[in-house]
Amino acid sequence: MINRFFLFLFILIFVSTAHAEYRTNIKSINTSAFSVPILLYHRFGFSVTDSMTITIDTFESHLKYLKSNGYKIIPLRQLVDFYIKKNKVPESHSVVIVVDDAHKSVFSHMLPVVKKYNIPVTLFVYPSAISNASYAMTWEQLRELKKTGLFDIQSHTYWHPNFNKEKKKMSPSDYNKFIDMQMKKSKDKLEKELGIYVDMLAWPFGIYNNELEAKAKQHGYIAAFTIERRHAKPYDNPMSLPRYLLNNSIKGKTFERLINNE
Ligand SMILES: [Zn+2]
């Protein structure tokens, strides 16, 4: 009888220890989990002139909210390092700021605010527009941004094509060459003009698929970004990380809900 009692006690202790270990494992998985919103801007102005323009007041209200609620704006590179090097989990309350297209207002309107708040920004550029299109920045202005040490400049392909449309217009071999050109020429031009290293890519119009991902990897890109509206999570594919495309109506409570993933 006594032996049976000890056997029962032994089993009880064994089961509860195993369960405790299981609980600890669950806990360690939870602490390494994270959820980071990547905020995507395009143009800035003192008033709203189109759907892609965010006023300086709205932009500053975003930064003030983040600052006074314990959020930390981290460089996009720091988030990408987690996926590539698997060694640094972003702190909780991390947020990333990125800008696509290199419009002039990034230089004229956004830059002073970025300096004032001393925040890291990643800018995705399609080089064919630079020092060429009237709405775009010049190479000289991009060099100025780089000099601040706050801007990481990366690729948005060479001329921002809609890959779905181009595929329909071309033969398979022409389309193949076209993708190569968009990926390679952009990286080469940015690296040559700015003396930087380019290995991140923002998908034009958020369009991506397995074929494009494979090509991007082949051309040395280690991370790429869509416009899917959700937070980046640990198990995401680094070649299709989500970003929130913002407009000027996303402020106040709407902005808070977006940041807090509600
Ligand atoms: Zn774009």
In angstroms, the first-to-last Cα distance of the chain is 57
**What is the distance between the alpha carbons of residues 95 and 16, in angstroms, rounded to a whole number?**
40
pLDDT of residue 85: 85
pLDDT of residue 152: 98
- Residue 206: which of 44, 54, 98, 59 has the closest Cα? 98
Mean pLDDT, the chain, whole residue set: 91
- In a shared domain, residues 18 and 89: no
Question: What is the 185 CA–ligand 1 centroid distance (Å)?
Answer: 17
Question: What is the mean pLDDT of the segment spanning 227-240?
Answer: 97
pLDDT of residue 198: 98
Quick check: 144 pLDDT over 70? yes
- In a shared domain, residues 26 and 49: no
- In a shared domain, residues 18 and 114: no
* Whole-structure pTM value: 0.87
Burial class of residue 97 (count of CB atoms within 10 Å of its CB; 0-12, 13-18, 19+): buried
Question: What is the 22 CA–ligand 1 centroid distance (Å)?
Answer: 46
Question: What is the mean pLDDT of the segment spanning 151-180?
Answer: 98
Question: What is the mean pLDDT of the segment spanning 71-86?
Answer: 94
Question: What is the mean pLDDT of the segment spanning 185-211?
Answer: 98
Question: What is the 233 CA–ligand 1 centroid distance (Å)?
Answer: 23
Question: What is the 205 CA–ligand 1 centroid distance (Å)?
Answer: 6
Question: What is the 125 CA–ligand 1 centroid distance (Å)?
Answer: 8
155, 125 in Cβ contact below 8 A? Answer: yes
207, 162 in Cβ contact below 8 A? Answer: yes
Question: What is the 44 CA–ligand 1 centroid distance (Å)?
Answer: 15
- In a shared domain, residues 64 and 160: yes
Residue type, 128: S
Q: What's the residue count for the chain?
A: 262
Quick check: 148 pLDDT over 50? yes
Question: What is the 203 CA–ligand 1 centroid distance (Å)?
Answer: 8
Q: What stretch of H or E contains 76?
A: helix 76-85
Question: What is the 105 CA–ligand 1 centroid distance (Å)?
Answer: 15
pLDDT of residue 232: 97
Range of the domain at 22: 1-32
- Residue 130: which of 121, 140, 122, 120 has the closest Cα? 140
Question: What is the mean pLDDT of the segment spanning 163-185?
Answer: 98
- In a shared domain, residues 3 and 133: no
Please state which of the ranges 22-26, 71-75, 189-193 shows the lowest mean pLDDT.
22-26
Q: Which two tokens stand for residue 194?
A: 């700015």
Query: pLDDT, tens digit, for every residue of 27-71?
Result: 344 446 899 999 999 999 999 989 999 999 999 999 999 999 999
With DSSP H G I counted as helix, E B as strand and the rest as coil, what are the percentages for the chain, rounded to 5? 50, 15, 35
**What is the distance between the alpha carbons of residues 176 and 170, in angstroms, rounded to a whole number?**
9
Quick check: 238 pLDDT over 70? yes
Residue type, 35: S
- In a shared domain, residues 24 and 64: no
- In a shared domain, residues 25 and 51: no
- In a shared domain, residues 4 and 77: no
Quick check: 16 pLDDT over 90? no
| CATH number, domain containing residue 45 | 3.20.20.370
- In a shared domain, residues 114 and 216: yes
Question: What is the 99 CA–ligand 1 centroid distance (Å)?
Answer: 9
Query: pLDDT, tens digit, for every residue of 218-228?
Result: 999 999 999 99
Name residues whose C-beta falls within 8 Å of residue 44's C-beta, 6 or more positions apart in sequence.
Answer: 53, 54, 55, 56, 59, 105, 106, 108, 109, 110, 113
For residue 216, the cross-strand partners are none
36, 231 in Cβ contact below 8 A? Answer: yes
How many domains does the chain fold into?
2
For the chain, count helices (H), then strands (E).
Answer: 10, 10
pLDDT of residue 30: 43
Q: What's the CA dihedral at 119, 229, 261, 38 to 10 degrees?
A: -20
Quick check: 167 pLDDT over 90? yes
- In a shared domain, residues 248 and 157: yes
Residue type, 259: I
Query: pLDDT, tens digit, for every residue of 121-136?
Result: 999 999 999 999 999 9
Question: What is the 23 CA–ligand 1 centroid distance (Å)?
Answer: 45
Question: What is the 189 CA–ligand 1 centroid distance (Å)?
Answer: 17
Quick check: 18 pLDDT over 80? no
- In a shared domain, residues 23 and 115: no
- In a shared domain, residues 85 and 28: no
Residue 22 pLDDT grade (very low, low, confident, very high; cuts 50, 70, 90): very low
Quick check: 13 pLDDT over 80? no
Question: What is the 188 CA–ligand 1 centroid distance (Å)?
Answer: 19
Question: What is the 115 CA–ligand 1 centroid distance (Å)?
Answer: 24
pLDDT of residue 33: 86
